[in-house]
């Protein structure tokens, strides 16, 4: 079969930037789409007669070009995310993931949804005032919530971000940790800071705290308060009681948004204590103004092993139930 050029690149384009070191991005596209790609100068040849595969390759390359223009590093998981969006989601638009790009003012990196579930999540955050995100570790529930909230605060769409967690020990007691209450709690809230410091410089995070635009505190500190024109993020919500969840949900003030994230497979509450998250999902699912986004192990975007580990634990849990 004589190969005709599928794409002729603009002479000004940096081929190495698009294709990666040793053409690693092209190799990944070949693996994902199931085609052979040949490059000659600025010309790209596709060794396939399948028009769907040709169209998919062209759409993916177009997305990659847009990301390069935006200065986004072309990591392999990002390319896989584009592939999933374009090939596995019915009626997916090639520009959908690009439009969902989060570029934080003063940010260190641009945040990009890595699968369709994350895209749906970001769209729900934009449209609804109360959003639940439920799923296993590693699916980006908290990370994307923090990113979206910081984008709102830094662009002055919201006045501040308040992040809270219930202080429930996962097999260890805070009482044995050294220091006063603040020193005991800080390590527990450290994952939130880690997410922020992945997106913003330490100086920017510190300035947000000093200006009162960022508050990170235990759930107990939320009682009796009303939050207007701000984003309220409850993380690890599976470890709230029914009373705590009701208290948190009724803090919502005018112009505010509430985001609740949790993993119902990792409840650390004492036995015979109902999870406020599980109860709220059942109680509030019929309210149209509240969005509930579920993630599965297939949405894990951490190391590939994380998905396998989660699957192994789920299989054991199901086996024990029998």
pLDDT of residue 83 exceeding 80: no
In SS3 terms, 172-192 reads as CCHHHCCCCHHHHHHHHCHHH
The arithmetic mean of pLDDT across residues 94-120, rounded, is 71
- The predicted pLDDT at position 298 comes to 76
Q: Which residues does residue 134 pair with via DSSP β-bridges, in sequence order?
A: 262, 294
Give the list of residues 6+ apart from residue 34 with CB closer than 8 angstroms, or none. 53
- The predicted pLDDT at position 176 comes to 47
What are the residue ranges spanned by the domains of the chain?
A: 5-99, 103-301
Q: Which residues does residue 216 pair with via DSSP β-bridges, in sequence order?
A: 163
- The predicted pLDDT at position 179 comes to 52
318 pLDDT tier (thresholds 50, 70, 90): low
pLDDT of residue 60 exceeding 50: yes
Contact 48/54 with Cβ under 8 angstroms? yes
Integer Rg of the chain from CA? 22
The CATH architecture annotation of domain 103-301 reads: 3-Layer(aba) Sandwich (3.40)
Cα distance between residue 296 and residue 117, in whole Å:
9
pLDDT of residue 138 exceeding 90: no
Cα distance between residue 256 and residue 130, in whole Å:
9
184 pLDDT tier (thresholds 50, 70, 90): low
Give the residue with greater pLDDT, 33 vs 64.
33
pTM as predicted = 0.70
Contact 127/289 with Cβ under 8 angstroms? no
- Reported in sequence order, the residue ranges of the chain that DSSP labels E, i.e. its strands, are 5-8, 37-40, 43-46, 102-103, 110-111, 130-134, 160-165, 214-218, 230-234, 257-262, 290-294
What mean pLDDT, rounded, does the chain reach? Answer: 80
Q: Closest Cα to residue 184, out of 175, 193, 192?
A: 175
pLDDT of residue 150 exceeding 80: yes
Q: Find which of 18-32, 135-149, 179-193, 263-277 is predicted with most confidence, using mean pLDDT.
A: 135-149
Does 5-99 carry CATH code 3.30.1370? yes
CA angle 163, 102, 97 (to 5 degrees): 125
By mean pLDDT, which of 150-164, 273-287, 299-313 is the weakest? 299-313
The arithmetic mean of pLDDT across residues 185-206, rounded, is 84
pLDDT of residue 201 exceeding 80: yes
End-to-end CA distance of the chain: 56
- The predicted pLDDT at position 172 comes to 41
13 pLDDT tier (thresholds 50, 70, 90): low
The arithmetic mean of pLDDT across residues 244-271, rounded, is 91
Q: Is 281 helix (H, G, I), strand (E, B) or coil?
A: helix
């Amino acid at each position: 079969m004589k190969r005709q050029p599928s794409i002729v690149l603009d002479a000004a384009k940096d081929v190495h930037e698009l294709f990666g070191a040793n053409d690693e991005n092209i190799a990944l596209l070949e693996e994902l789409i199931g085609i052979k790609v040949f490059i000659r100068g600025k010309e790209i040849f596709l060794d396939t007669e399948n028009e769907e595969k040709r169209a998919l390759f062209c759409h993916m390359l177009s997305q990659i070009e847009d990301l390069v223009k935006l200065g986004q590093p072309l990591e392999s998981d990002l390319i896989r995310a584009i592939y999933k969006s374009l090939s596995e989601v019915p009626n997916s638009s090639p520009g959908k993931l690009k439009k969902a790009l989060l570029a934080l003012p003063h940010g260190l990196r641009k945040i990009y949804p890595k699968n369709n579930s994350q895209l749906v999540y970001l769209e729900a955050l934009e449209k609804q005032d109360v959003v639940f995100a439920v799923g296993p570790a590693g699916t980006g529930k908290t990370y994307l919530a923090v990113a979206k909230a910081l984008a709102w605060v830094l662009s002055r769409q919201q006045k501040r971000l308040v992040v809270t967690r219930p202080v429930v020990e996962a097999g260890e007691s805070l009482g044995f940790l050294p220091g006063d209450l603040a020193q005991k709690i800080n390590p527990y809230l450290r994952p939130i800071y880690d997410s922020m410091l992945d997106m913003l410089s330490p100086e920017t995070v510190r300035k947000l705290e000093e200006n009162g635009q960022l508050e990170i505190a235990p759930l107990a500190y939320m009682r009796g308060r009303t939050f207007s024109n701000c984003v309220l993020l409850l993380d690890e919500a599976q470890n709230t009681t029914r009373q705590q969840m009701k208290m948190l949900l009724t803090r919502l003030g005018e112009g505010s948004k509430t985001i609740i994230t949790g993993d119902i497979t990792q409840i650390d509450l004492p036995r015979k204590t109902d999870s406020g998250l599980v109860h709220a999902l059942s109680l509030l699912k019929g309210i149209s103004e509240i969005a509930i986004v579920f993630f599965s192990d297939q949405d894990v975007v951490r190391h590939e092993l994380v998905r396998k580990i989660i699957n192994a634990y789920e299989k054991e849990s199901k086996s024990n139930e029998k």
